[in-house]
Structure 1
Amino acid sequence: MIAPVKKPDEMPPVSADGEEEVEEVEEEGDPENQGAGGEGKKKKKKKKKSKKKKMEQTEPPTIGLSKLFPDGNYPQGELQEYKDDNAYRTTSEEKRYNERMAMEDPEVTYNNIRRAAEVHRQVRQYARKYIRPGLRMIDIAETIEDGVRALVEENGLESGIGFPTGLSLNHVAAHYSPNPGDTLVLGEKDVLKVDIGVHVQGHICDSAFTLSFDPTYDPLLEAVRAATETGVREAGIDVRLGELAGYIQETMESYEVEVNGKTLPVKPIYGLSGHSIIPYQIHGGRHGKSVHSIRNDDQTKMEEGEYFAIETFGSTGRGKVIEQGECSHYSRAIDVPPVDLRLNSAKSLLKSINKNFGTLPFCRRYLQRAGEKNYLLALNNLVAQGVLNDHPPLCDVRGSMTAQFEHTILLRPTCKEVVSRGDDY
């Protein structure tokens, strides 16, 4: 049913802040029922109504989340009940109490995780419409990163980009982000992995998806997405990591892709895995846990309160990767003993890295944005001294295609929250 359209002179006035204003009107009683004094029996007043127009995100996204969510409460992700022996957690009074205590504890910061996830959802929503063949990879990366910085309201190490935007193509599975001067252009036959990281107070939302403009590789994308969903569904408190990997593997290997009349199995990529996440450390630090895509004997269990990235990579190639190509990703090594740096430029660069990134991964473009110039010698020196880790692109055999999907999940006391869930994946 279509509502009638009001004429201009019937439209209620709108205040400067977007509120709809309604004038107060007095209604006299029925003249026939007036008393001796000529006064009506009753007067009615229409209450003033106000309706605030909800602010909406722009395209490209530029409005910070604090303006879209002025109460400071950000949307929950998808909630899933635990399975089997942990099903009791949903109604357990003890676990519900633990949940309340967690919500009151500022160091747990569920809300910060959700803020990072909402930034991720809104930025990738635009990115999925914006990305198309013919665009330079560096423009895609910077468009995504500009959106993250604006929406998370970047503020030093308090909030910002969680790691360099991954835009790995085709046989390159991970760790490619364009360096300054990169002229690579996205092609119609390319398979593009888009890996975006957002952090709030070090709590990182790590989530990725794959785009293909050639329907030939739709089954590859479907296989990897289904494998990630299996990992998300089967993950939970007390689940053994080796068994979880087996469920992921079984799902992915049930798919195949037909390329030029040849049927190719989809293989999980050995050595690329999901991982636990702790504040300011994307791979969970020295004692981090890994969620592989191939069954193994790891008896380590997931535990209450842990935060995981469930990511899977599939390939039409050999299912193994090697480091290959120009490096863009770097991160400061954790718990490195003091090193006597002889180059003054290395000392200066390390100071800048500590200030701007801490232990968060970064790339060369971020160094330039921080004002660093002629830094390559110092950067390589810090890698050689073990102060920095370099992370070159990870590649399967040339000619193969790879895909990636990823979600971050929070193992709450009462339920599992898929914080990065969106309408798209």
Structure 2
Amino acid sequence: MADSDSDYASDDESTIDESEFTCENPDVVTKYKIAADCANAAMKEVRAAIAVGAKVVDLCALGDAAIERETAKYYNKKDKDGNKVEKGIAFPTCVSIDNCVCHNSPDASDAKTIEDGASVKIDLGAHVDGYVATTATTVVVGGKPVTGAQADVMKAAELASEIVIRKLRPGASTGEIGGVIEGVAKDFGVNVVEGVMTHNMKRFIIDGNKVILNKSTPEMKADPEEIELYEVYALDIVMSSGEGKPKQRDERETKVYKRAIEKNYQLKMQGSRAVFSEISKRFPTMPFTARALEEKRVNFGLVECCNHGLLHAYPVLYEKDGAAVAHVKSTFLVLKKGNDRITTFEPQEVQSDKSLSDNALVELIATELKPKPKPKKKK
């Protein structure tokens, strides 16, 4: 469920100029791009640290620290109303290995390490003044050529992302996108992972109401929406050589949560109230990890908060054993002169023996995402 703008709006709705908080405002574009620079820098640092024997939790902590350090460089003066500009982690660093699909950001006690040949999915996000930029990528460790099913899922995810970002222009329907993504998956002999959505984003909202469902199922459908100028999207693609139906294995692995601001409940246990108080103060709108909380009774408090709907949990999901999985995500702004991709997944080179069958899509990928401005004629 999406968060509401109401916590950040004036009581007098008639006085609000919505364009002030969209990419129609150049200052908003600047903040999105700074957030993207911070996310890209953190991603680069995590990728550089991935090696055989590296601990997963250390990589997650490294990414989170990088986001905090990078965002701390900007907007350190108070605004005109005397308030500090909020900034920092918009989505905590998750490092998911092999057939683990997403949301793995374990506690400090976790001992899992990276093995030679492992496929590693990194997912993280930063924000500046509530303007969010997220990114995800997949890399294979070891330096050997990436072939077979792992190459197929990685190439399919890359090409699907390149196609979709070019199709999502003002006036386009979100209802057409799922079929395109599934068409790419079919060409590469892989499956689109169910439950993955591309959300629009707004100030302090990481998962807006406008949704592009990568794969419709009888249980999950989304109404078609029209792409509009100045919107922002986190384009999220996950491909699998398995069935594309990831499942949760152990509830205790879940360590990423987000405050459900539309829900209120008076918790009974003092420890749970202390945990929830810390969450409300430090993470009122953005996702966070249990590892980031200072309150000692974290796990018990989180359970009670979830049981009463005060938190949304991001479960750790798995494909079947042995399945190859690839995850890529980029943030883009829908602007007049083309979509501006501000975070990118920088795909690793792979050797897949499959290719796209639709020549029109091949030609589409070859087009400029954002045409370069024509040089001005000298007077």
Tell me the TM-score normalised to structure 2 length: 0.76
Which of 241, 244, 261 is equivalent to 1:334? Answer: 261
Give CA deviations for 1:169-227 in whole Å, capped at 9, x if unaligned. Answer: 11111111122201000111321110111111111111110011352322321111111
Give CA deviations for 1:364-418 in whole Å, capped at 9, x if unaligned. Answer: 1111xxx211222111111111111222112221221211011111112443211
Which of 255, 267, 273 is equivalent to 2:197? Answer: 273
2:196–2:215 CA contact under 8 A, matched in 1: no
Shift of 1:424: 6.0
Which of 104, 110, 125 is equivalent to 1:176? Answer: 104
Which of 110, 115, 120 is equivalent to 2:29? Answer: 110
CA distance, structure 2, for counterparts of residue 104 and residue 398 of structure 1 = 46
Read off the aligned partner of 2:132 and give its amino acid letter.
I
Which of 264, 267, 286 is equivalent to 1:360? Answer: 286
Query: Paired residue for 2:47?
Result: 128
Structure with the bigger RCO (C-alpha within 8 Å, sep 6+) is 2
* Residues 215-234 of structure 1: pairs in structure 2 closer than 5 A: 215-216=146-147, 217-234=150-167
Q: Judging changes above 3 Å, is the alpha-carbon distance between structure 1 residues 157 and 313 closer, same or farther for their aligned structure 2 residues? A: farther
Is residue 227 of structure 2 the alignment partner of residue 302 of structure 1? yes
What RMSD over aligned residues (CA atoms) do the two structures have, in Å?
A: 2.5
Query: Paired residue for 1:242?
Result: 175
CA distance, structure 2, for counterparts of residue 231 and residue 102 of structure 1 = 22
Query: Paired residue for 1:351?
Result: 277
Query: Paired residue for 2:207?
Result: 283
CA distance, structure 1, for counterparts of residue 299 and residue 166 of structure 2 = 44
Structure 1: 5+ residue runs without aligned partners?
A: 1-97, 256-264
Q: Judging changes above 3 Å, is the alpha-carbon distance between structure 1 residues 101 and 322 closer, same or farther for their aligned structure 2 residues? A: closer
Give CA deviations for 1:97-149 in whole Å, capped at 9, x if unaligned. Answer: x999967848x611110001111222222332221121000111112222111
Is residue 299 of structure 2 the alignment partner of residue 376 of structure 1? yes
Q: Judging changes above 3 Å, is the alpha-carbon distance between structure 1 residues 189 and 206 closer, same or farther for their aligned structure 2 residues? A: same
CA distance, structure 2, for counterparts of residue 341 and residue 135 of structure 1 = 39
SS in 2 for 1:243: helix
Q: Judging changes above 3 Å, is the alpha-carbon distance between structure 1 residues 317 and 423 closer, same or farther for their aligned structure 2 residues? A: closer
CA distance, structure 1, for counterparts of residue 47 and residue 323 of structure 2 = 23
1:240–1:298 CA contact under 8 A, matched in 2: no
1:192–1:212 CA contact under 8 A, matched in 2: yes
Read off the aligned partner of 1:121 and give its amino acid letter.
N
Q: Judging changes above 3 Å, is the alpha-carbon distance between structure 1 residues 364 and 272 closer, same or farther for their aligned structure 2 residues? A: same
Tell me the TM-score normalised to structure 1 length: 0.68
Instruction: Give aligned pairs, total.
Output: 311
Q: Judging changes above 3 Å, is the alpha-carbon distance between structure 1 residues 275 and 102 closer, same or farther for their aligned structure 2 residues? A: closer
SS in 1 for 2:309: coil
CA distance, structure 1, for counterparts of residue 127 and residue 40 of structure 2 = 13
Give CA deviations for 1:237-268 in whole Å, capped at 9, x if unaligned. Answer: 1211120221222123211xxxxxxxxx2111
CA distance, structure 2, for counterparts of residue 282 and residue 313 of structure 1 = 18
Give CA deviations for 1:50-74 in whole Å, capped at 9, x if unaligned. Answer: xxxxxxxxxxxxxxxxxxxxxxxxx
Query: Paired residue for 2:184?
Result: 251
Q: What is the identity percentage for the equivalent residue pairs of Structure 1 and Structure 2?
A: 24
Read off the aligned partner of 1:352 and give its amino acid letter.
E
Read off the aligned partner of 1:250 and give its amino acid letter.
G
Give CA deviations for 1:310-357 in whole Å, capped at 9, x if unaligned. Answer: 111000101111222311111111311x31221122222111111111
